[in-house]
Amino acid sequence: METITSERFFRIYYAKPDPQTIARQLRKPSGQAAGKVAAKMNEANAPLFDLTLETMQPANDESILEIGFGSGKFLGKLFEQAGGLQVSGIDYSQAMLDNATTHNRSLIDAGRLNLERGNSNDLPYPNGSFDKVFCNMVIYFWDQPGKHLSEVRRVLKPNGRFYTGMRAKSSMMKLPFIEHGFNVYEIDQWSSVLSANGFKVIDIIKELDPSTEIEGEEMRMESICIVAEKR
């Protein structure tokens, strides 16, 4: 598969040939571009969210945390899977918090969903708060993953599970902005990071996304969900 040039990618999606700006916005959407960035992330990551949700299988009355909820478009799907869920979410971007709050106002007002702005290396929740924690396309922005995973372990209940939604390094490296601040992994590399930070990998689920065509070029990513249990 041929790599799309940075200029063409940005012209198609963001109208400015600057991959550093793309990378910066993907890490922390802000300003006037935030809404457009969120829409593109939703489109690209919908298959991955669905795979993670299917793998996670929320059960009645569980407490679940999403790290990096973005626009919050998919949060409602959690509540379709089980009754009595208590869901929390944290995101680094104030623009995304504002966006997600608007999209999920009824769930927030009903006390079923709590959204906060913050960083996953300092989670604002008590020890043992959650049955499950998950994130999609977030670990690439963890410059020191051990600090984030330590916090994930802390807020998980005994034998709680952490679900990493990701795409493999070999796929991600085809994108022109990856060299600007992304920490990408192959499956075995991220599994080793999990194992070194107090988790036991218990399952790895993979599924090919639908084909996407950009200016006549076909791209097909592989969604991956790695399931790890707190040791």
pLDDT in tens, 122-139: 999 999 999 999 999 999
Q: What is the pLDDT of residue 120?
A: 97
What string of H, E and C letters represents the secondary structure of the chain? CCCCCHHHHHHHHCCCCCHHHHHHHHHCCCHHHHHHHHHHHHHHHHHHHHHHHHHHCCCCCCEEEEECCCCCCCHHHHHCCCCCCEEEEEECCHHHHHHHHHHCHHHHHCCCEEEEECCCCCCCCCCCCEEEEEEECCHHHCCCHHHHHHHHHHHEEEEEEEEEEECCHHHHCCCCCCCCCCCCCCHHHHHHHHHHCCEEEEEEEEEECCCEEECCEEECCEEEEEEEEEC
- The rounded mean pLDDT for the chain is 86
pLDDT in tens, 157-192: 999 999 999 998 888 877 777 766 689 999 999 999
pLDDT in tens, 73-112: 999 999 999 999 999 999 999 999 999 999 999 999 999 9
